[in-house]
């Protein structure tokens, strides 16, 4: 597992369908790719990560791990951020300021995984008009209707989720894999698995759900969880958001938050 020791906060342009959006990402290299980086760390050990804020404004770093500290990231500077000692599980790091949240910088923080077969799903929605306002320095009126046009897993909408080896779950028969899922959006989501029930291994907002075995998994705004999938049968099985608006691209079905579990013989 590669240890990400530096993250770059990068402004750039995000294109989905006919929409071109100003965006921010937290990437693992200093050049824009459009994809937020995952940070992997061992369990029960504190560590740090250097965050280089290349944006023109200051941001604030935060995570949904217990006892997280807010860290200021002044514009144009590098800041060393401490990561606390945590038990095995899935968490998220993000920019806890409106511009950072609306423009979409933040990724999974995976703790304590080593040689397991791992996948991750960074869930977000995108409303281009809101992003344009935020990029222009305006504040968002959250009392207005929220009508995202795009719904993504790892910044990709179906069918492009099939091009992402972290979103598309390709495993061999009888493999066991773990999927880290995190909701970075502004609404709650619920994923429905065809063909399999998954075991909930960790959940930041619902620890009482650890040990549940379900084919439908709700993920609240800001929540991260880990599920275990045992690939006991061959074939191709969809996983999709159970909210039908979230399986569209700019209003057209099918799209959005759909991916596939592909179990090979």
Binding site for Cu ion (CB under 5 A): 192
d(CA 203, CA 150): 25
E-assigned strands of the chain? 6-16, 19-27, 39-41, 47-53, 59-63, 71-73, 78-83, 89-95, 106-111, 117-126, 150-153, 169-172, 176-183, 189-193, 198-203, 213-214, 216-219, 224-230, 235-241, 258-264
Between vectors from CA 15 to CA 188 and to CA 97, what angle results, nearest 5°? Answer: 50
Considering beta carbons, is residue 38 or 247 the nearer one to Cu ion? 247
Considering beta carbons, is residue 192 or 205 the nearer one to Cu ion? 192
Smallest distance, Cu ion to C-beta of residue 240, A: 6
- Residue 202: burial class (beta carbons within 10 Å; 0-12, 13-18, 19+): buried
Considering beta carbons, is residue 194 or 221 the nearer one to Cu ion? 194
Smallest distance, Cu ion to C-beta of residue 57, A: 41
Q: Is the peptide bond before 37 cis (omega within 30 degrees of 0)?
A: no
Smallest distance, Cu ion to C-beta of residue 141, A: 34
Considering beta carbons, is residue 113 or 151 the nearer one to Cu ion? 151
Considering beta carbons, is residue 192 or 197 the nearer one to Cu ion? 192
Smallest distance, Cu ion to C-beta of residue 216, A: 8
Smallest distance, Cu ion to C-beta of residue 166, A: 21
- Considering just the CA atoms, what is the radius of gyration of the chain in Å? 18
């Amino acid at each position: 597992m590669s240890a990400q020791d530096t993250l770059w906060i990068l402004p750039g342009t995000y294109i989905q369908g006919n929409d071109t959006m100003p965006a921010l990402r937290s990437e693992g290299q200093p050049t824009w790719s459009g994809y937020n980086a995952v940070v992997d760390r061992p369990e029960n050990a504190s560590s740090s990560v250097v965050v280089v804020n290349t944006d023109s404004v200051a941001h604030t770093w935060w995570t949904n791990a217990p006892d997280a500290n807010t860290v200021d990231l002044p514009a144009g500077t590098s800041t060393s951020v401490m990561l606390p000692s945590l038990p095995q599980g899935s968490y998220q790091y993000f920019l806890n300021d409106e511009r950072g949240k609306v423009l979409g910088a933040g990724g999974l923080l995976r703790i304590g995984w080593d040689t397991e077969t791992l996948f991750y799903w960074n869930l977000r929605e995108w409303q281009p008009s809101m992003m344009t306002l935020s990029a222009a320095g305006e504040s968002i009126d959250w009392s207005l209707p929220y009508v995202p046009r795009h719904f993504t897993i790892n910044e990709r909408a179906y069918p492009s989720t099939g091009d992402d080896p972290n979103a598309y779950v390709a495993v061999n028969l009888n493999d066991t894999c773990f999927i880290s899922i995190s909701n970075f959006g502004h609404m709650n989501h619920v994923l429905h698995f065809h063909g399999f029930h998954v075991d909930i291994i960790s959940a930041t907002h619902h620890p009482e759900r650890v040990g549940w075995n379900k084919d439908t998994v709700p993920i609240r705004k800001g929540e991260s969880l880990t599920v275990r999938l045992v690939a006991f049968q061959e074939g191709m099985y969809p996983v999709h958001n159970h909210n039908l608006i979230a399986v569209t691209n700019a209003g057209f079905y099918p799209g959005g938050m759909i991916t596939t579990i592909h179990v090979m013989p």
